[in-house]
Structure 1
Amino acid sequence: MSALSPYEQKALVNIEQEKQRRLSTSPRRLMPPKVKAVATGAGRRVKDLPGADRAADAAGRGYARAAEGVGKFLSRSSQFTLSSRRVVRAYHRRGFDVEGLEDIRALDLQTIDGVARFKRLANLYAGAVAVEGAGAGLAISGGALLAVGGSAGAGAAAAPGLAVVTGAVAGDAVAVLMAGSRVVAHTALYYGYDPEDPREEVFAMSVINLGAATTQGAKMSAYGELSRLTQLLARSAPWEKLNQSMLTRVAQRFAAKFGQDLTKKKLGQLVPVAGVVVGAGMNYALVDSIAEAAYWSYRERFLRDKLGQAMSVPLQPDAPPDDVESDMQVDEAIDLLGLLEDEGFDTTDPDRP
Structure 2
Amino acid sequence: MTEERTDLERQLRDIQKWEKAQQRVMFWQTFTRLPFQLLDKLTPQFIQRKIGLILDETGTFIQSGGYLTSEKRIMKKFQKRLPHGTCQTLHDIRNAPLAVMDEIAEGIARTSVKAATVQGAATGVGGVFTLAADIPAMLGLSLKTLQDIAVAYGFDPKDKKERVFIVKLLQLASSDVIGKKAILQDLRQYDQNDRAYQRVASQIQGWREVVYSYRDTFAAKKLLQMVPAAGIIFGASANRSALESIAETGIMLYKKRRILKRMKDTE
Query: 1:148-174 CA distances to partner (integer Å, 9 max, x unpaired)?
Result: xxxxxxxxxxxxxxxxx3x52331001
> Structure 1 stretches of 5 or more lacking a match?
30-39, 141-164, 310-353
Amino acid at match of 1:110: A
The runs of 4+ residues in structure 1 deviating greater than 6 Å are 236-239
- Compare CA radii of gyration and give the structure with the larger one: 1
Query: 8 Å contact 1:70–1:255 — kept in the other structure?
Result: no
> Structure 2 stretches of 5 or more lacking a match?
none
User: Which residue of the partner structure matches residue 222 of structure 1?
Assistant: 183
User: Which residue of the partner structure matches residue 59 of structure 2?
Assistant: 71
Query: Matched residues in 2 for 1:139 and 1:60: separation?
Result: 16
Residues 117-136 of structure 1 correspond to what in structure 2 (within 5 A)?
Answer: 117-136=104-123
Query: Matched residues in 2 for 1:129 and 1:270: separation?
Result: 17
Task: Give the 3 Å change call, closer, same or farther, for CA 6–131 of structure 1 in structure 2.
Answer: same
Residues 100-179 of structure 1 correspond to what in structure 2 (within 5 A)?
Answer: 100-113=89-102, 116-140=103-127, 165=128, 167-179=129-141
Query: 1:266-311 CA distances to partner (integer Å, 9 max, x unpaired)?
Result: 23322344322221111110011000000101010111223459xx
User: Which residue of the partner structure matches residue 230 of structure 2?
Assistant: 274
Per-residue deviation at 1:111? Answer: 4.4
**Secondary structure in 2 aligned to 1:139?**
coil
Query: 8 Å contact 2:120–2:236 — kept in the other structure?
Result: yes
Residues 9-48 of structure 1 correspond to what in structure 2 (within 5 A)?
Answer: 9-24=9-24, 26=26
Say which of 179, 194, 197 aligns to 1:235. Answer: 194
Task: Give the 3 Å change call, closer, same or farther, for CA 108–125 of structure 1 in structure 2.
Answer: closer
Query: Matched residues in 2 for 1:204 and 1:52: separation?
Result: 27
Query: Matched residues in 2 for 1:224 and 1:277: separation?
Result: 36
Query: Matched residues in 1 for 2:39 and 2:154: separation?
Result: 46
Query: Matched residues in 2 for 1:57 and 1:11: separation?
Result: 49
Task: Give the 3 Å change call, closer, same or farther, for CA 53–87 of structure 1 in structure 2.
Answer: closer
Query: 8 Å contact 1:136–1:276 — kept in the other structure?
Result: yes
Query: Matched residues in 1 for 2:163 and 2:229: separation?
Result: 38
**Secondary structure in 1 aligned to 2:126?**
helix
Amino acid at match of 1:275: G
More helix by share: 2
Query: Matched residues in 2 for 1:290 and 1:198: separation?
Result: 20
Q: TM-score scaled by structure 2?
A: 0.78
Query: 8 Å contact 2:77–2:104 — kept in the other structure?
Result: no
Query: 1:187-243 CA distances to partner (integer Å, 9 max, x unpaired)?
Result: 110100011111111101111222223x32232133123225445xx328987xx9x
Query: 8 Å contact 1:23–1:219 — kept in the other structure?
Result: yes
User: Which residue of the partner structure matches residue 317 of structure 1?
Assistant: none
- Which shifted more, 268-277 or 190-199? 268-277
Query: Matched residues in 2 for 1:238 and 1:117: separation?
Result: 27
Query: Matched residues in 2 for 1:179 and 1:225: separation?
Result: 25
User: Which residue of the partner structure matches residue 181 of structure 1?
Assistant: 143
Query: 8 Å contact 1:70–1:252 — kept in the other structure?
Result: no
Task: Give the 3 Å change call, closer, same or farther, for CA 90–130 of structure 1 in structure 2.
Answer: closer
